Amino acid sequence: MNGASSGGGGGAGAGGDGPLVYQRWKGNNVFVLQGRFIFGPDARSLYVTMFLIIAPASIFCLFVAKELMNNFSYGLGLPVMISAVVFTAYDLSLLLLTSGRDPGIIPRNAHPPEPEGLDGNAEVGSNQTPPMRLPRVKDVVVNGITVKTKYCDTCMLYRPPRCSHCSICNNCVERFDHHCPWVGQCIGLRNYRFFYMFVFSTTLLCLYVFGFCWVYIVKIRNSEQITIWKAMAKTPASIALLVYTFIAVWFVGGLSVFHLYLMSTNQTTYENFRYRYDQRANPYNRGVMENIKDIFFSAIPASKNNFRARVPVPQEQGLRPRPTNGFMSPNMGRAVGDIEMGRKPVAWDEPRMAADIGDLGAGLGNLLEDKDGRFRSASPDLSRDALAIGGLDDQGSSVMNPGRTSWGVEAGR
């Protein structure tokens, strides 16, 4: 199941006006209900997360809350059951809001941005247009502090500040925090609020179940005048829930505290591990109250993607390569895999490449055609035994295999 095919073929639309955006999506996302919900490629992990919430909540309602309804006076047992059901439903709805919405994906460009200047290091022939190179990074001033923004080769755009490219979803996400496997989605600008509310409400649900399990055990002890250990033995479901919630609360509770710290200092998880703002100035920190207000009380920006809209015809045509007119990518001359990993790149010998291209052009000029379109003769230096496709001779000049005459005819047209 992938982003281009999920959701059914009916989204192609009546009237044949073209496909919908989610059907031509280049990321690794999974779309549900014809583009109304967007998930990450690991969306199946949601089943595990939902089971880890629903299963203990169901056990609590069946074996603990139900018994408390009979033991509490004045009808106080019924609110315990209702509160558990409502709390669980609320927690699951926050999970869906976190995992099923656009986290802040920046749409890709169909083409690279226009180069801003010439690359003075390139050496080309006088008859050729000098190549233009995009800078790898750009400096942006945020609250008086210079922040570097990087160029994304996949999305062909300069990432805004606090934006990062998720390698799992294959999208650039605004205010990227992390990719959470438990919710199967990136956590970013548009769903971070719901993510924290989900984690915090899960913590409260664990404490709720843990507390009332102890209440039930104490009531058994008091009613039967037995020890606490014998009372625990009479309700194995409570024992299982106590162990489960005790372990879970350390995980979700610790996560809640950690993200509370991040919100109070206006950091993301990615920034906290990568930039270490405790050792350098944080350009986004505006004070604890303003930082918390920015997360919970500011308007959530509208999505920059309309997944159920028609793909414009020019955009469909723009997916095909266009002439670069001498444009050079920021990563031209850098070995694949060296860009993000920080390894020493392989040198790009532009003068050597220009010389090789010139030698190849001279060799093509020696190939003459007769009136029937066949080769009349070739340079006597180009022997069949010494030539190889795309090879070099002893002097380092490019050569061509005369056996590939069809290529030569095409190039001569």
List, for residues 50-100, the tens digit of each pLDDT value. Answer: 999 999 999 999 999 988 887 766 667 788 999 999 999 999 999 999 999
What does the block give as tokens for 350? 């532009």
242 and 213 in contact (C-beta within 8 Å)? yes
Of 196, 209, 201, nearest to 246 (Cα)? 209
The pLDDT value recorded for residue 276 is 72
Q: Has residue 47 got a pLDDT over 70?
A: yes
Q: What is the dihedral of CA 322, 327, 331, 334, to 10 degrees?
A: 110
Q: Which of 155, 166, 180, 213 is catalytic?
A: 180
Cross-strand partners of 368: 377
- Residues ≥6 apart with Cβ < 8 Å to 48: 182
Percent over 90 (pLDDT), the chain: 43
Give the number of other CB atoms < 10 A from CB of residue 342: 7
Distances (CA, A) of 149 to 113, 163, 173, 286, 396: 14, 8, 13, 21, 40
For residue 19, the model assigns a pLDDT of 87
How many residues appear in the chain? 413
Bridge-partner residues for 180, per DSSP? 185
* Structure-block tokens of residue 326: 């001498």
* Lookup result for tokens 């990087």: 150
Query: 180 an active-site residue?
Result: yes
Summary mean pLDDT of the chain: 75
Could you identify the residue written with the tokens 């922040």? 147
Helices 236-264 and 192-224: crossing angle in degrees, nearest 10, is 150
The whole-number average pLDDT for the span 150-159 is: 90
Q: Give the type of residue at 316.
A: E
Q: What is the pLDDT of residue 16?
A: 54
pLDDT value for 6:
45
Place of tokens 């159920």: 308
Distance CA 373, CA 68 (A): 96
> What strand order describes the sheet that includes 157-158?
137-142, 145-152, 157-158
Residue 376 has what pLDDT? 43
Per-residue confidence (pLDDT) for residue 345, from 0 to 100: 38
Instruction: Enumerate the domain spans of the chain.
Output: 21-102+181-297
Place 120 in a pLDDT band, splitting at 50, 70 and 90.
Answer: very low
Per-residue pLDDT, 375: 41
pTM (two decimals): 0.70
10 has a pLDDT exceeding 70: no
> What are the φ and ψ backbone dihedral angles of 11, each rounded to 5 degrees?
-70, -10
CA 126 distance to own-chain centroid: 44
Distance from C-alpha of 104 to C-alpha of 228, rounded to nearest angstrom: 52
Question: Where is average pLDDT lowest: 72-76, 182-186, 284-288, 309-313?
Answer: 72-76
Residues 6+ apart with CB under 8 A from 78: 69
How much is the pLDDT for 318?
A: 38
Mean pLDDT, rounded, for 326-349: 41
